[in-house]
């Protein structure tokens, strides 16, 4: 799977060089949707007013491909709340799953009512804190770890370091899955891929995100077994379609396509190797 640059789609996470004041969220609403921005050129989250639980941005639908690896997780940790799209979807469509969302920006959490993020209860909690610290500490063992933490400059350094990915690997349950939203126009993109490969070895694959030329979703898992074959993913997608209003069949095809990615090209473009 080649890495290419294309015109920006607004569903892509932006790489923007801005001062930290631009981490102050901006909310823009029209008759159809409400959207969260850190900069008016790139949307971070969008909610359709007619269906607040719908996954409006394609990359979030692709991130739900973890269901093709782990169809019935008991515990999910989400790094980066944003407008709460993934948190709301998981809360509604995985009714027996415990969910923790970690968001460092209190101004983002303050918008949870605007985006109809559920209140904390016995199986859903929003934590204001540093996600890198959260992953390293405590005794939580998520089956799924969704990493979608961005600020106005892109992925924060402490959410793309080798130390962070190693902590994620240790933190996951025995058959846990890490899902990371990456963008190809971020200068750290290739380094993120190489670090994931170094930490998870062959237990990592990629998928181009739906409706976005810039977003790539990385799936990494515990153990040395390969990614599920397409036939297994399609069978799981069929079994889940009654309870999940997203096209997991399409996501299975994206994951299958991502298996073709030539990891050797990372080393060819890395002057330190």
pLDDT digits (tens, 9 = 90+) for 18-27: 334 447 888 8
Percent of the chain with pLDDT over 70: 88
Is position 35 within any domain? Answer: no
- Residue pair 76/98 in contact (Cβ under 8 Å)? The answer is yes
Instruction: State the residue range of the domain holding 228.
Output: 58-268
Confidence of residue 267 (pLDDT cuts 50, 70, 90): low
Query: What pLDDT, on a 0 to 100 scale, did the predictor assign at position 20?
Result: 44
Which CATH number goes with the domain that contains 220?
Answer: 3.40.50.150
DSSP assignment of 57-104, as one string?
Answer: SHHHHHHGGGGGT-SS-SEEEEE--TT-HHHHHHHHH-TT-EEEEEES
Q: In what order do the strands lie in the sheet with 144-147?
A: 124-128, 98-103, 75-79, 144-147, 177-183, 215-221, 204-208
Count of other CB atoms within 10 angstroms of residue 232: 13
Catalytic residue among 23, 143, 148, 153: 148
Is position 260 within any domain? Answer: yes
pLDDT digits (tens, 9 = 90+) for 93-142: 999 999 999 999 999 999 999 999 999 999 999 999 999 999 999 889 99
Q: In what order do the strands lie in the sheet with 26-29?
A: 26-29, 33-39, 42-48
- What mean pLDDT is predicted for residues 48-67? 95
Cα 158-214-50 angle, rounded to 5 deg? 95
Query: What pLDDT, on a 0 to 100 scale, did the predictor assign at position 230?
Result: 98
The rounded distance, in Å, linking the Cα atoms of 42 and 54 is: 20
Number of domains in the chain: 1
Is position 4 within any domain? Answer: no
DSSP conformational letter for 144: E
- Sequence-separated contacts (24+) of 227-232 with Cβ below 8 Å: 227/69, 227/255, 227/259, 228/68, 228/69, 230/256
Is position 29 within any domain? Answer: no
Residues linked to residue 33 through DSSP beta bridges, in sequence order: 48
- Is a pLDDT exceeding 90 seen at residue 269? no
Is position 36 within any domain? Answer: no
- Residue pair 79/149 in contact (Cβ under 8 Å)? The answer is yes
Tell me, yes or no, if 211 is annotated catalytic.
no
Is position 51 within any domain? Answer: no
- What mean pLDDT is predicted for residues 197-216? 95
Confidence of residue 10 (pLDDT cuts 50, 70, 90): very low
DSSP conformational letter for 251: H
Q: Does residue 65 come out as left (phi exceeding 0), alpha (psi in the -120 to 50 range) or beta? A: alpha
Is position 3 within any domain? Answer: no
- Residue pair 168/198 in contact (Cβ under 8 Å)? The answer is no
- Residue pair 68/221 in contact (Cβ under 8 Å)? The answer is no
pTM of model > 0.85 = yes
Joined together, the tokens standing for residue 159 give 């959410």
Joined together, the tokens standing for residue 106 give 């209190």
Nearest to 225 by CA among 73, 69, 106, 120: 69
Nearest to 222 by CA among 267, 262, 165: 165
Is position 11 within any domain? Answer: no
Joined together, the tokens standing for residue 212 give 């976005």
Secondary structure (3-state) at 203? coil
């Amino acid at each position: 799977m080649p890495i290419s640059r294309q015109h920006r789609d607004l569903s892509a996470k932006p790489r923007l060089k801005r001062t930290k004041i631009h981490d102050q969220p901006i909310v823009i609403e029209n008759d159809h949707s409400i959207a969260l921005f850190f900069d008016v050129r790139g949307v971070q989250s969008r909610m359709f007013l007619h269906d607040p639980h719908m996954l409006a941005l394609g990359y979030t639908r692709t991130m739900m491909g973890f269901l093709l690896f782990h169809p019935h997780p008991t515990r999910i940790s989400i790094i980066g709340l944003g407008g709460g799209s993934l948190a709301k979807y998981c809360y509604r469509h995985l009714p027996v799953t415990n969910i923790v969302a970690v968001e460092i920006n209190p101004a983002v959490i303050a918008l949870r009512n605007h985006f109809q993020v559920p209140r904390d209860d016995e199986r859903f909690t929003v934590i204001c804190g540093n996600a890198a610290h959260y992953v390293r500490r405590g005794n939580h063992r998520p089956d799924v770890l969704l990493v979608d933490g961005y600020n106005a400059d892109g992925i924060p350094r402490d959410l793309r370091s080798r130390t962070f990915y190693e902590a994620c690997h240790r933190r996951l349950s025995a058959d846990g899955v890490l899902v990371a939203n990456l963008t190809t126009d971020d200068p750290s993109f290739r380094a993120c891929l190489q670090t994931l490969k170094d930490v998870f070895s062959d237990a990592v694959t990629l998928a181009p995100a739906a409706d976005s030329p810039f977003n790539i979703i990385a799936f990494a898992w515990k153990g040395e077994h390969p990614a599920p074959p397409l036939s297994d993913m399609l069978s799981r997608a069929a079994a889940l379609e009654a309870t999940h209003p997203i096209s997991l069949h399409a996501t299975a095809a994206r994951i299958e396509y991502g298996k073709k990615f030539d990891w050797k090209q990372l080393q060819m473009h890395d002057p330190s190797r």
